[in-house]
């Protein structure tokens, strides 16, 4: 090791605490904005990638951001009011594929997405194990959710009640896990997918129970009128759909009025998209949005806020540089005799300056190394961090 | 060994000047330099070390004419042929005892590679520090620190040792001990010792004492 570097290294080793403080200051000043920049960059890329792969989203009139975030990332609540009949009418336009989505509920903490098989083909989702949900009560689990919940094909998941204190609410429905999706690096990894009708059953819009007429215990039937049978609470309602009871599950009312969160619309070409947008421009209840435009608008807000943080970081960096300069200046003053001694012992003044510059160099190298490690860690944790940001 | 002739030196912008018609010291000789404050004792050391260059006269040390050398050559000569002992030791607190002794080699490439630890230990054993080579210098007593400084001054086998108040920061007993070591080690190495001191109680230990106030003239330009 050369003389100046040897002296500098010994100096920073001897003054460990001071060195650690300076390294921490410089690392934070350099590393934090770098990490934030990387995270925001990746976050926006993820948001935009999902938006780019989704041509149009239909939903009830209301917040367009809520609608797009719900339809693309299964986060937050979609504007209420969209019905299954609206998806049917979009299909009847024959201007593209209309994929219904209903993600109001969760299953053991993961978003439970009611949809059709078209969704898996549209997103290019494939199972890593098992198969897609084919039957009422089946579900397929995203890769990350399966890992977190520790489930695999043949296992089961329970839907979460909306409100545990609501005794009149729907009971948790036991879902049969038929497959686990291969990782896709998208919000699909964290979701549980089931048939739309399964989710309606979880909501209590459909149900299965023992045959009131043939199998009910004596006294269960309270009254019969106009072809309807009214039973008391002793009637057994099923909380799991099995081969044995699947036939007993049914819905009351008009399915066209059943709720949806959103509909993904995939027109075959730009003309069809333009026609659809034109038709829904002034629709009374339904709005049709282009996710790319909405996410760009949302990111515009995020980046506007980020500019404040950038300015803040710049000011902090300036202040840190000022403190660093002051520290160096004070240190140089305090060490004037040391410099003079080295000179008297025959050291070149340039070598003395080099030794002191090397101390700063070591601090910067350590800081930049730590910042690079932090950035590397950020890259390694990017997927969960981005998922967390999207949650 | 040392030969000064007709030297005149003034610091830039100052009216005071040191005038030294002649000053000599033989190889291996120990000379105490005394004199009132401001008579030019430290200036004399700077001139002998080549740190300052006289405006007039000649200075010859160990056969080299310093006044004919440029700054870099004087610095190299200082590193190779002159050892320093300071009143406040001027050790580097971030180096241990061994590295403080080896410091001249670390900062002067012209001296070559630093001596091995065995050589440092051998030198340190002459001043009783052989077991403290890995100690931090700020954990040593004042007397021990001055002995480390003494080893640092001797490690490169200097022809001339310049000591500026070498006992000034030591108690009388430690001061006498440090001075005796300095005199003995200089004599054993045939190095000339020029020691500036205010402590008249130590002068009897020097074979020769020069009162700079008496031999040098101080002129006001």
- For A348, the closest of B75, B86, B92 (CB atoms) is B75
Minimum-distance CB partner of B107 among A10, A337, A345: A345
pLDDT in tens, A321-363: 898 899 889 999 999 999 999 999 989 889 989 999 999 999 9
pLDDT at A153 over 50: yes
> 3-state class of A351 per DSSP?
helix
Distance from CA of A4 to the nearest CA of B (A): 7
CB contact (8 A) between residue A14 and residue B108: no
What is the mean pLDDT of the segment spanning A125-141? 92
Per the CB < 8 Å rule, is A6 touching B106? yes
Whether residues B108 and A344 touch (CB distance < 8 A) is answered with: no
Q: What does the alpha-carbon distance between residue A285 and residue A281 come to, in Å, rounded to a whole number?
A: 11
A295 vs A47, A51, A66, A247, A308, CA distance in Å? 7, 7, 11, 43, 20
Instruction: Give the C-alpha separation, B111 to A273, whole Å.
Output: 83
Q: State chain A's mean pLDDT as an integer.
A: 86
- Any idea what the Cα angle at residue A18 is, between residues A15 and A19, rounded to 5°? 80
Q: How many CA atoms lie within 13 A of A79 on its CB side?
A: 18
CA torsion, points A330, A334, A339, A340, in degrees to nearest 10? 130
Give the CA radius of gyration of chain B.
Answer: 17
Taking the C-alpha atoms of residue A45 and residue A299, their distance in angstroms, rounded to an integer, is 10
Give the residue with greater pLDDT, A168 vs A259. A259
Q: Are strands B64-65 and B56-61 parallel, antiparallel or unpaired?
A: antiparallel
- Mean pLDDT (chain B) is 90
Give residue B221's pLDDT.
44
Which helix (H) or strand (E) element contains residue B183? helix B172-188
Q: How far apart are CA B198 and CA A303, in angstroms?
A: 73
Q: Which residues of A touch B (CB under 8 A)?
A: 3, 6-7, 10-11, 13-15, 337-338, 341-348, 351-352
pLDDT tens digits for range B20-50: 899 999 999 999 999 988 888 999 999 999 9
pLDDT digits (tens, 9 = 90+) for B100-155: 999 999 999 889 999 999 999 999 999 999 999 999 999 999 999 999 999 999 99
Predicted-complex ipTM score: 0.89
Q: Which residues of B touch A14 (CB under 8 A)?
A: 93-94
Residues in chain A with CB shorter than 8 Å from the CB of B152 are 345
**Ranges A179-183, A193-197, B167-171: which has the least confidence:** B167-171
| Residues 6 or more apart in contact with residue A262 via CB below 8 angstroms | A57, A58, A59, A67, A70, A71, A78, A82, A100, A101
Chain B residues touching residue A341 (CB < 8 angstroms): 86, 90
Alpha-carbon distance A128 to A142, whole Å?
10
For residue B19, what is the enclosing H or E element? strand B16-25
E-strand stretches of B73-216: 82-85, 160-164, 192-196, 208-211
Q: For chain A, where are the alpha helices, taking DSSP H only?
A: 3-14, 16-52, 64-73, 84-92, 117-123, 143-149, 196-203, 270-279, 291-334, 336-344, 349-380, 382-390
For B107, the enclosing helix (H) or strand (E) is helix B97-107
Distance CA A45, CA A51 (A): 10
Residue A79: which of A327, A335, A345, A260 has the closest Cα? Answer: A260
Rounded to an integer, what distance in angstroms lies between the CA atom of residue A211 and that of residue A58?
39
Beta-carbon count within 10 A of A382 CB: 16
pLDDT in the model for residue A212: 58
B78/A338 touch (CB, cutoff 8 Å), yes or no: no
Place of tokens 């149009």: A56
Strands B30-34, B192-196: pairing kind = parallel
Is the CB of residue A29 less than 8 Å from the CB of residue A320?
yes
Give the C-alpha separation, A46 to A48, whole Å.
Answer: 5
Whether pTM > 0.80 for this model: the answer is no
State which of A223-237, A295-309, B177-191 shows the largest mean pLDDT: B177-191
CB contact under 8 A, B108 and A347: yes
Q: Which of A211, A219, A265, A262 is nearest to A238 (CA)?
A: A211
Chain B residues whose beta carbon lies within 8 Å of the beta carbon of residue A348: 72, 75
Q: Do A10 and B90 touch (CB under 8 A)?
A: no
Which residues, 6+ apart, have CB-to-CB distance to A298 below 8 Å? Answer: A47, A65, A68, A69
Mean pLDDT score, A213-231: 64
CA A245 – CA B200 distance, rounded (Å):
115
- CB within 8 Å: A3 and B75: no
| % pLDDT > 90, chain A | 47
Tokens describing residue A72: 């693309």
- In 3D space, the residue among A226, A283, A273 whose CA is nearest the CA of residue A95 turns out to be A273
Give the separation between CA A324 and CA A190, rounded to whole angstroms. Answer: 45
Whether the per-residue pLDDT at A294 is higher than 70: the answer is yes
Per residue in A208-217, pLDDT (tens digit) is 766 655 655 6
Q: Could you tell me if A50 and A44 are in contact, meaning their C-beta atoms sit under 8 angstroms apart? A: no
The closest of B162, B158, B132 to B43, measured between CA atoms, is B162
Distance between CA atoms of residues B9 and B54, nearest Å: 5
Sequence-distant (6+) residues with CB within 8 A of A291 are A50, A51, A54, A55, A56, A57, A68, A71, A72
């Amino acid at each position: 090791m050369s003389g100046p570097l040897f002296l500098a290294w010994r100096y920073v080793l001897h003054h460990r605490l001071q060195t650690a403080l300076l390294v921490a200051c410089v690392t934070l000043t350099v590393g934090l904005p770098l990490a934030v920049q990387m995270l925001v960059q990746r976050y926006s890329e993820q948001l935009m990638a999902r938006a780019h792969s989704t041509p149009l989203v239909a939903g009830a009139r209301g917040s367009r951001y809520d609608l797009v975030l719900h339809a693309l990332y299964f986060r937050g609540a979609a504007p209420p009011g969209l019905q299954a009949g609206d998806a049917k009418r979009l299909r009847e336009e024959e201007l593209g594929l209309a994929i219904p989505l209903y993600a109001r509920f969760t299953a053991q903490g993961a978003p439970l997405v009611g949809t059709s098989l078209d969704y898996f083909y549209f997103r290019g989702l494939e199972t890593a194990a098992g198969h897609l949900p084919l039957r009422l009560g089946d579900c397929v689990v995203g890769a990350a959710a399966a890992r977190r919940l520790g489930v695999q094909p043949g296992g089961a998941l329970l839907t979460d009640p909306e409100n545990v204190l609501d005794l009149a609410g729907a009971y948790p429905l036991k879902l049969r896990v038929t497959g686990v999706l291969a990782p896709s690096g998208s919000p699909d990894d964290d979701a549980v997918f089931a048939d739309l009708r399964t989710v309606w059953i979880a909501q209590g819009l459909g149900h299965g129970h023992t045959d009131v007429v043939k199998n009910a215990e004596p006294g269960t039937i309270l009254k019969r009128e106009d072809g309807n049978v009214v039973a008391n609470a002793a009637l057994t309602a099923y909380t799991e759909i099995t081969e044995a009871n699947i036939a007993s599950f049914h819905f009351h009312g008009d399915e066209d009025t059943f709720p949806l969160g959103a509909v993904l619309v995939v027109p075959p070409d730009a003309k069809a998209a333009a026609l659809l947008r034109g038709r829904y421009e002034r629709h009374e209840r339904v709005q049709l949005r282009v996710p790319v435009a909405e996410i760009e608008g949302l990111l515009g807000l995020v980046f506007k806020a980020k500019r404040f943080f950038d300015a803040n970081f710049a000011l902090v960096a300036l202040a840190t540089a000022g403190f660093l300069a002051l520290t160096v200046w004070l240190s140089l003053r305090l060490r004037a005799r040391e410099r003079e001694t080295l000179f008297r012992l025959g050291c070149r003044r340039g070598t003395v300056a080099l030794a002191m510059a090397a101390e700063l160099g070591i601090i910067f190298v350590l800081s930049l190394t730590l910042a690079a490690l932090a950035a590397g860690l950020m890259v390694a944790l990017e997927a969960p961090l981005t998922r967390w940001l999207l949650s | 060994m040392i030969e000064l002739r007709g030297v005149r030196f003034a610091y830039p912008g100052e009216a005071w000047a040191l005038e030294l018609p002649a000053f000599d010291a033989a190889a291996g000789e120990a000379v105490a330099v005394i004199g009132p404050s401001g008579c030019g004792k430290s200036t004399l050391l700077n001139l002998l070390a080549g740190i300052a260059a006289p405006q007039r006269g000649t200075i010859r040390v160990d056969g080299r004419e310093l006044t004919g050398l440029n700054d870099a050559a004087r610095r190299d000569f200082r590193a190779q042929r002159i050892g320093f002992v300071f009143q406040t030791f001027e050790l580097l607190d971030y180096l241990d005892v061994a590295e403080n002794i080896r410091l001249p080699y670390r900062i002067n490439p012209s001296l070559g590679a630093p001596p091995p630890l065995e050589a440092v230990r051998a030198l340190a054993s002459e001043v009783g520090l052989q077991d403290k080579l890995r100690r931090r210098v700020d954990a040593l007593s004042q007397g021990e620190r001055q002995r480390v400084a003494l080893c640092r001054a001797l490690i490169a086998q200097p022809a001339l040792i310049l000591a500026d108040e070498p006992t000034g920061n030591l108690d009388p007993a430690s001061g006498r001990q440090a001075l005796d070591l300095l005199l003995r080690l200089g004599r054993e190495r045939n190095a000339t010792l020029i020691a500036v001191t205010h402590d008249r109680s130590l002068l009897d230990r020097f074979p020769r004492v020069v009162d700079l106030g008496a031999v040098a003239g101080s002129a006001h330009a």
